[in-house]
């Protein structure tokens, strides 16, 4: 027995042992084969899949540069916000109402939208854009699966409609759409940063693999605008446009010494902070983008051209009787028969007959050369997006009628800004500097369109416009000597010039003793009884100019106010 049993056991043991060992070997082979498959055959695929689940490229939005006025008052500021989005594939439908409630969204609508997007297989849905950081943080802290936030910026415009046209506006993605936001897009935008990171299940960054780009904030833009003057100009222009039920209006205030734009306003305006209520017609920067025929405001240049020939002096007599003149088959009239006027009187009374006689005496070539030298008809003065291209006929195109109309401001066109630029010819002894809106340290070079003595004579002649006898008596600025020229131009309609629709203009300079400001006011299509430039635009000029001169602390120069001498002096 004892010898038999072991042999039996041995036999069983051998095949069992063999079986177990065989099974283990097969299993081992399977495991090894699987390992080889994972490590050799499928490795690249698996690594890629793994990275897809953990490695993320994070984009850091760059902060857009600030736009400020000349004293650093903010006109456009970016503030961080969060764009909230969800992945409909990952989100549980039960958690949608909670999300909607926190973001103040309609619960039912969001639920429907989410389930629809999930059915369509979409994996991205904006919940709400530009959410307050505090709200977004509270929501993200709940760690609801499928709800994400992306950091971005929102643009705020503190001065809102007052600077809307000039500063412009960005779209919801922070790209400039209008105005300076568009013109200086590349400078303001900066470069966004991006980095590769490893994230855990909850979206926390646990490892930073590489930084591709470092976020660089955009540059700040300092304008030449003076926000105080901009406010004043906007308020007075708006009041006048409302009072006269005008279609639109604009005002341009230039520093007479440097050519810097101190105020640039247009009506109607819009609030760039409320994107929902944008109307295209309100977004038009009329001071820069509208072409106007300057009408009588061009007469000082015709007269200056005559003075430049040397044949005339401010006292040269011109007979404007009988108050009208026939050129070809057209009759051009004065307001009434002014009889014999000297050149100053032609400006004071705004005599069409007078300037036509001057223009015909000079000829087209000479007038054209003078106007071009004075920067009239220079296609663009600023390079602003959408800037109107000035137009002036060439001397070859001017027959006696065309020449006559150009002499009193028809048949050539420019923007209100272009007109203001032209008026800087009369200041700084004929030194005209390029118009600037953005501050840079480079001093613009002088261009002399009008010789110094003639510029001075013209100032004195234009000062008579604001006297009791002049057409612009209502443009007078209390305390200051001011000069300028009224203009009333027929508007161009579908069938040429309209009989009873006008553009009222006033272009002027103050104070005359040492010009500091040039202001152009344009009121388009006033509907009331008053429509002459001297009635509609001149009072606006007076109001803006009075406040602007006071704010700039320019001493009154008309002699009615005696400066008070203070012992010891004040700073």
Angle at which helices 400-407 and 352-362 cross, to 10°:
130
Shortest CB 91 distance to other proteins, Å: 25
Task: For other proteins, give the closer residue by CB, 63 or 246.
Answer: 63
| 296 catalytic residue (yes or no) | yes
* Per-residue 3-state assignment (H helix, E strand, C coil) for 167-217: HCCECCCCCECCHHHHHCHHHHHCECEEEEEEECCCCCEEEEEEEEECCEC
Shortest CB 405 distance to other proteins, Å: 42
User: For the stretch 296-312, what's the b/e string if a residue is b when 16 or more beta carbons lie within 10 angstroms of its beta carbon?
Assistant: bbbbbbbbbbbbbeeeb
Using the Cα atoms of residue 410, residue 415, residue 419 and residue 422 in order, give the sign of their dihedral.
negative
Asked if 461 contacts 484 with a C-beta cutoff of 8 angstroms, the reply is no
Beta strands in 382-527 (DSSP E): 431-432, 447-448, 483-493, 496-510, 517-524
Task: For other proteins, give the closer residue by CB, 159 or 489.
Answer: 159
Shortest CB 80 distance to other proteins, Å: 5
Annotated catalytic residue, options 78, 266, 296, 504: 296
Shortest CB 561 distance to other proteins, Å: 5
* Residue 563: both structure tokens together: 């400066």
Residue with tokens 């990952």: 90
Shortest CB 380 distance to other proteins, Å: 31
Task: For other proteins, give the closer residue by CB, 88 or 174.
Answer: 174
* Residue 499: both structure tokens together: 């009989």
Cβ contacts of residue 234 below 8 Å, gap of 6+? Answer: 161, 162, 263, 265, 269
Which positions lie near other proteins, rule CB under 8 A? Answer: 63, 73-74, 77-80, 133, 151, 156, 158-159, 205-208, 227-228, 231-232, 235, 479, 555-556, 561, 563-566, 569-571
Give the integer Cα–Cα distance in Å for 125 and 84: 9
Shortest CB 269 distance to other proteins, Å: 13
Residue 510: DSSP 8-state: E
Task: For other proteins, give the closer residue by CB, 310 or 559.
Answer: 559
Task: For other proteins, give the closer residue by CB, 228 or 360.
Answer: 228
Task: For other proteins, give the closer residue by CB, 44 or 571.
Answer: 571
* Residue 355: both structure tokens together: 């300037």
| Rounded CA Rg of the chain | 37
Cβ contacts of residue 131 below 8 Å, gap of 6+? Answer: 81, 82, 83, 84, 103, 149
- Reported residue count of the chain is 571
Residue 436: DSSP 8-state: B
Going from the C-alpha of 135 to that of each of 99, 101, 118, 485, 492, the distances in angstroms are 11, 11, 25, 57, 54
Shortest CB 532 distance to other proteins, Å: 27
Task: For other proteins, give the closer residue by CB, 136 or 254.
Answer: 136
From 410, 425, 449, 244, select the one nearest 332 (Cα to Cα): 410
Task: For other proteins, give the closer residue by CB, 63 or 459.
Answer: 63
Residues recognised as catalytic: 296
């Amino acid at each position: 027995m004892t010898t038999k049993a072991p042999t039996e056991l041995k036999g069983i043991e051998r095949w069992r042992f063999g079986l177990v060992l065989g099974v283990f070997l097969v299993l081992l082979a399977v495991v090894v084969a699987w390992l080889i498959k994972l490590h050799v055959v499928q490795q690249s695929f698996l690594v890629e899949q793994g990275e897809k689940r953990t490695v993320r490229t994070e984009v850091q939005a760059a902060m857009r540069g600030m736009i400020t006025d000349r004293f650093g008052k903010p006109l456009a500021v970016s503030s961080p916000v969060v764009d909230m989005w969800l992945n409909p594939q990952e989100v549980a439908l039960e958690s949608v109402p909670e999300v909607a409630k926190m973001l103040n969204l309609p619960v039912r609508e969001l639920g429907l939208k989410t389930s629809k997007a999930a059915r369509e297989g979409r994996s991205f849905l904006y919940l709400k854009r530009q959410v307050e950081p505090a709200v977004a943080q509270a929501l993200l802290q709940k760690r609801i699966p499928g709800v994400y936030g992306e950091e971005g910026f929102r643009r705020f415009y503190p001065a809102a409609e007052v600077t809307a046209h000039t500063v412009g506006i960005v779209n919801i993605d922070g790209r400039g759409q209008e105005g300076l936001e568009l013109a200086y897009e590349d400078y303001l935008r900066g470069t966004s940063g991006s980095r590769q990171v490893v994230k855990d299940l909850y979206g926390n960054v646990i490892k930073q693999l590489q930084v591709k780009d470092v976020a660089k904030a955009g540059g700040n833009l300092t304008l030449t605008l003076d926000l105080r003057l901009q406010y004043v100009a906007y308020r007075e222009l708006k009041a006048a446009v409302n009072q006269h039920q005008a279609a639109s209006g604009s005002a341009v205030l230039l520093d007479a010494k440097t050519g810097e734009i101190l105020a640039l306003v247009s009506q109607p305006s819009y609030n760039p902070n409320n994107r929902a209520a944008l109307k295209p017609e309100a977004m038009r920067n009329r001071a820069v983008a509208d072409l106007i025929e300057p009408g009588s405001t061009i007469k000082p240049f015709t007269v200056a051209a005559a003075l430049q020939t040397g044949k005339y002096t401010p006292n040269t007599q011109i007979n404007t009787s009988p108050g009208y003149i026939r050129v070809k088959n057209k009759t051009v009239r004065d307001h009434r028969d002014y009889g014999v006027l000297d050149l100053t009187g032609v400006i004071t009374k705004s005599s069409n007959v007078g300037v036509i006689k001057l223009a015909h005496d000079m000829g087209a070539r000479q007038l054209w050369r003078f106007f071009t030298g004075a920067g009239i008809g220079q296609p663009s003065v600023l390079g602003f997006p959408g800037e109107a291209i000035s137009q002036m006929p060439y001397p070859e195109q001017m027959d006696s009628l065309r020449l006559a109309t150009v002499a009193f401001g028809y048949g050539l066109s420019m923007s209100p800004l272009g007109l203001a630029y032209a008026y800087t010819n009369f200041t700084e002894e004929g030194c005209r500097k390029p118009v600037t809106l953005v501050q840079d340290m480079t001093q613009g070079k002088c261009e002399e369109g009008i010789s110094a003595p003639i510029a001075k004579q013209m100032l004195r002649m234009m000062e008579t416009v604001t006297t009791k006898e002049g057409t612009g008596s209502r443009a007078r600025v209390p305390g200051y000597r001011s000069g300028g020229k009224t203009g009333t131009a027929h508007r161009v309609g579908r069938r040429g010039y309209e009989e009873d629709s006008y553009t009222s203009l006033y272009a002027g300079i103050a104070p005359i003793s040492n010009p500091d400001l040039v202001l152009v006011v344009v009121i388009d299509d006033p509907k009331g009884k008053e429509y002459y430039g001297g009635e509609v635009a001149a009072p606006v000029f007076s109001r803006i100019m009075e406040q602007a001169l006071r704010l700039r602390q320019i001493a009154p120069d008309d002699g009615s106010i005696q400066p008070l001498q203070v012992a010891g002096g004040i700073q």
